[in-house]
A and B are shown apart, each in its own frame.
Chain A
Amino acid sequence: MLFGFHWDTAHGEWAFALSILPILLRGLVVTIQASIVGFFIAMVLGLVLAVLKGAPSRIIAWPAALVTEFIRDTPLLVQLFFLYYVLPDYGIILPAFLTGALALGIQYSAYTSEVYRAGLEAVAKGQHEAAKALDITPTRTFTHVILPQAVPRVIPALGNYLVSIMKDVPVLSVVTVLEMLNVAKIIGDQTFDYLVPLSMVGGLYLILTILASAAVRYVDLNLPKRGLPLK
């Protein structure tokens, strides 16, 4: 029994599959929640890293680039263990779910920061010059000229990372987060049948990523290509 649902091992494979479906779906909800929280952290942290890397001062830009490279080149699992075991030593005690989402966010901030940088750099140089010629302040140029044109380029790439994050959420099972794979593993441990729950997780993942990719493509196709009015 898990989450108040009993599994049916007496009436064959299909009855078993049907009886554990609601349990796996509970796990799926946690998977989606962790993806969204992790994605949000990655978006914010990535923007911070992108701004720091683009700083005119090298004393800021270089360490930021090094940190990004370091995050990108080390495994999520080890970063997660690091946060989970080391933070409490310094008095920061987070629930497992938040630690996991934070690890996902940190890992993917390295990727999203590159997306932001590429998006900002892709805006034609003439736009900066035109804004200067029209005497628009640098801040206003960034928020009203550059950003609206960069956003449509950035969103599809960010969406693809959201899908990647979903596929990395099972790693959080190692710090006791009850996401879909962990739930399936528990069912397998107790019923000695790993085939049905793990195959169902695979199938559910396939559906999830196909739907998410379709949503990203839909958003991409419906974004105004020349820029997004922010007002």
Chain B
Amino acid sequence: MHWVEYLTPLSQGAWVTVQLTVFSTVLGGLLSFVFGIGKLSPNWGIRGFSIAYIEIFRGTSLLVQLFWLYFALPVAGDAIGINLRLPPVAAGVLALGLNIGAYGAEVVRGAIQAVRPSQYEAAKALNFTPRQALFRIALPQAIPEMMPSFGNLAVQNLKDTALASLISLGDLAFRAEQVRNFTQDSTTIYTMILFMYFGMALVLTAIMRLLERSVGRWRSARS
């Protein structure tokens, strides 16, 4: 088989990888803000839950989390009488999103804490409620500072989607494995998909740069 013929199955896989990356990155982004802000909450219950989430998902291996959601969760569900059999796509998106969300939450927390105290004092002096101070003063200044780290995490997440092939999700790495089993042409196939991942990472980096530039206008004027 000629290498051009591999392109059809591989591009199908690449499309799954793209979808998986988009969904899990969006989910991870949402979780980052929820738990990053949650970790700064004055309510100890919310703070404790956020810290537990962040520590558990940053402290264990992504593959362990993926296997746990895919293999162990159904067993746990059976024990309490609920059907928790996730399809591979759901388990993959959930595991990737939860994992990257925990790393992102620390980024969000760090960026919010890096907003200068004088900004909060000014907000207080102008009689802003704590909620207004967070959403109208702190976050707009913190988000541009988060973007470079978010860009790295997005690429990290793209790379991590390859692990979803191990729970039989038909992504790029999975298709490559199928084609390899069929043709035994390892060198060509793996070289091709390494470059495909590299290309996707470059595109993703470019998108994150654009996003970074578009939120850059929220940056406060540095005095």
Contacts and interface: CB of A to CB of B under 8 A. Distances in A.
What is the predominant secondary structure among interface residues of chain B facing chain A?
helix
A79 B67 contact: no
Contacts of B202: 73
Interface string B71-104: 1100110010000000000000000000000000
B190 A198 contact: no
Contact of B198 (A70, A76, A198, A199): A70
Given A82-B190, A86-B190, A181-B67, A77 B165 contact: yes
A193 B78 CA distance: 11
Contact of A85 (B55, B68, B155, B186): B186
B64 A201 contact: yes
Contact of B72 (A77, A171, A198, A205): A198
B197 A202 contact: no
Contacts of A86: 186-187, 190
Interface in A46-98: 70, 72-79, 81-82, 85-86, 89
Given A75-B159, A78-B176, A89-B186, A205 B193 contact: no
B68 A198 contact: yes
A194 B76 CA distance: 9
Nearest to B194: A74
Interface string A142-171: 000000000000000000000000111111
A33 interface: no
Nearest to B165: A77
Nearest to A168: B61
B67 A185 contact: yes
Q: Is the interface of A mostly helix, strand, loop or mixed?
A: helix
A195 interface: yes
B212 interface: no
Nearest to A169: B61
B137 interface: no
Contacts of A170: 61, 63-64
A202 B68 contact: yes
Nearest to A84: B186
A119 B176 CA distance: 39
Contacts of A202: 56, 60, 64-65, 68
Contacts of B79: 195
Q: How large is the interface on A (under 10, 10 to 19, 20 to 34, 35 or more residues)?
A: 35 or more
A26 to B, nearest CB: 17
Contacts of A29: none
Contacts of B165: 77
Given A77-B165, A188-B71, A205 B201 contact: no
Contacts of B60: 167, 202, 205-206, 209
Interface string A201-214: 11001100110000
B197 A78 contact: yes
A205 B198 CA distance: 30
A174 interface: yes
Contacts of B56: 202, 206
A85 B180 contact: yes
Contacts of B155: 72-73
A65 to B, nearest CB: 14
Given A195-B75, A209-B58, 12 more contacts: A73-B159, A76-B159, A77-B163, A78-B197, A82-B194, A85-B186, A167-B60, A169-B61, A194-B75, A195-B72, A198-B72, A205-B61
Can you list the 6 inter-chain pairs with the closest CB atoms, starting with the nearest?
A73-B201, A85-B186, A75-B162, A194-B71, A195-B75, A170-B63
Interface of A: 70, 72-79, 81-82, 85-86, 89, 166-171, 173-174, 181, 185, 188, 193-195, 198-199, 201-202, 205-206, 209-210
5 contacts: A74-B194, A76-B162, A78-B176, A78-B194, A171-B163
